[in-house]
Amino acid sequence: MDIGIDKIGFYTPNVFVDMEKLAEVRGVDPAKYTIGIGQEKMAIAPLHHDSVSMAANAALSILDDEDKAAIDFVLFGTESGVDHSKSGAVWVHQLTGIQKNARCVELKQACYGATAGIKMAMGHIALNPESKVLVLGSDIAKYGLKTGGEPTQGAGAVAIVLSQNPRVMSLDNDSASMTKDISDFWRPLYSDYAFVDGKFSNEAYLSFLKEVWNNYKEQTRRELSDFEAMCFHLPYTKMGKKAILALTEDADESEAKRLMNSYHDSIHYNKQVGNVYTGSLYLSLLSLLEQGPELEEGARIGLFSYGSGAVGEFFSGVVKPDYKQFLNKEAHEAVLDDRRELSIDEYETTLEQALPKDGSDVDIDNEQVNVGKAHLAAIKENIRMYAIK
C-alpha cells in the first residue's frame, strides 16, 4: 500500500531575535552564530504560546473538513509537554475540530517523538486504509540566557497528515533504527531548561547517523546515488552540513556536491526559526520541498531523525508527481515575514517569563496574538484554557 505525507504545515511564534545582534551583546563574533552555528534568526515563544497552541496552529493551517472527518488518530510528539498526564493531542483535537471518535496520544523521546508518530501512523493506516492520521511535532527549545546552547534555541511546530495514496511524498517501508542509553541532552522534570553536553551531543548525533545509515544501506542495498537529497534533524543548520560531510566522506566529488546543494535548500526555514526539537527534521523536509527546485517524480529523499538520550533512525520517501501543488509555500513565507524583531532586552525578559508553579490562577495577555491563532488564554484552578483569537 502507498502510505505517506498528504499534507504538511508549520507554525512559529510571531517574534524572533536577530542572531548577529545577540552575538554582539554576548561579545561573540557574529560569524560564529551565522556561519559557525548557521542560524540567522531565533523564534521565541511568549507566554501565550506553548507546545499545544503552536501545534494547534500548525494543524489549523492545513486541515479541511474532509481531513477532520477522516482523522481517527492524533499523535503528538513533544519534549516540552504541558501536563504529566493529559496529552497535548487532546487539546489540539478540540481546537481543530477533529471528529470525536479519534484517539489522541502524546509521544516522548526527545527530538525523535514525531518520527515515532510517523512510524505508528504508517502501521495504523496499513491496517485501516481509510484512516488519516495527524502527526504533530511541537516544542520550545530552551537552554537559558548566556549558556552554551543559547544560540541553538527556537520554538515552533510541524503538523503532518498521513494517508494512503498521499499527494506529497510516499514513505518507504524500510528503515534502520538504533537506541543507546547516553546522557548527551536531557531535561529533568524540575527544570524548564535543557541540560546538554554540547560536544558529546554532536559526536553522538554523528555516530548514530553513520551506524543507522550503514544498516539502512545493508538492508535496502541503496547507495548515496539513489538519493536526490538528504534531510536531517537540525538542532542548528550547521549540524546538517556536518551530517552531509560524514555521509559523503568516501563519495566522489560530484556526488558530495550534489547532496551539499540540496542541503542549502533544506535549511531555509530552520535557519530563520532555530531548533524546534521534534519538528526540526520535518521543517527541513518542508524547506527542501517548498524552497528547492521541483524534484522529478520518484526522486528519493533520505531522512535522519535523532532524539538525544538517544534514539536514531534513517528512513526514506519518494516525492509524488506535482507535489508542489499541495504545499503552502506563500503561507509559510508569510508566517516568517510577518514576525516582529525583539530587542535583546525584550528577548531576555520573554525567555525568562514563566507561568506560576504554585497553582495560582493567571490570565494571559493575548494582545500580541494574531487573529485566528490558538493561544493559551488562562490557567484557572490548575486547568489550562486555550482559545482561538
Annotated catalytic sites, by residue?
79, 111, 233
Residue nearest to ligand CAA (CB): 36
- Of the candidate residues 201, 270, 278, 305, the single one contacting ligand CAA (CB under 6 A): 201
Q: Is 292 in the site for ligand CAA (CB under 6 A)?
A: no
C-alpha torsion 324→330→333→334, nearest 10: -160
Is 386 within 8 Å of 54 (Cβ atoms)?
no
Q: Is 275 in the site for ligand CAA (CB under 6 A)?
A: yes
Q: Is 306 in the site for ligand CAA (CB under 6 A)?
A: yes
- What residues numbered 57-86 form the site for ligand CAA, per CB under 6 A? none
Is 76 within 8 Å of 187 (Cβ atoms)?
no
Is 62 within 8 Å of 9 (Cβ atoms)?
yes
Query: Around Cβ 129, how many Cβ atoms within 10 Å?
Result: 11
Which residue, chain included where needed, has cell 539513489?
Answer: 226
**Minimum Å distance from CB 253 to ligand CAA?**
20
Rounded CA separation 303/314 (Å): 6
- Between 146 and 221, CB nearer to ligand CAA: 146
- Of the candidate residues 202, 350, 366, 368, the single one contacting ligand CAA (CB under 6 A): 202
Q: Is 308 in the site for ligand CAA (CB under 6 A)?
A: yes
The amino acid that residue 47 corresponds to is L
Q: Is 35 in the site for ligand CAA (CB under 6 A)?
A: yes
Q: Is 319 in the site for ligand CAA (CB under 6 A)?
A: no
Rounded CA separation 171/319 (Å): 9
Rounded CA separation 10/54 (Å): 9
Q: Is 161 in the site for ligand CAA (CB under 6 A)?
A: no
- Between 172 and 184, CB nearer to ligand CAA: 184
The amino acid that residue 190 corresponds to is Y
- Of the candidate residues 32, 180, 340, 389, the single one contacting ligand CAA (CB under 6 A): 32
Cβ burial of 361 (10 Å; 0-12, 13-18, 19+) is: exposed
- Between 14 and 152, CB nearer to ligand CAA: 152
**Candidate segments 56-64, 197-205, 218-226, 289-297, binder of ligand CAA by CB under 6 A:** 197-205
- Of the candidate residues 15, 118, 231, 239, the single one contacting ligand CAA (CB under 6 A): 239
Rounded CA separation 266/130 (Å): 32
Q: How many residues bind ligand CAA (CB under 6 A)?
A: 28
Give the H/E segment covering residue 171.
Answer: strand 169-179
Rounded CA separation 271/256 (Å): 22
Residues lying near ligand CAA in the complex (CB under 6 A) are found at 29, 31-32, 35-37, 111, 148-149, 151-152, 184-185, 196, 198-199, 201-202, 205, 233, 235-236, 238-239, 275, 277, 306, 308
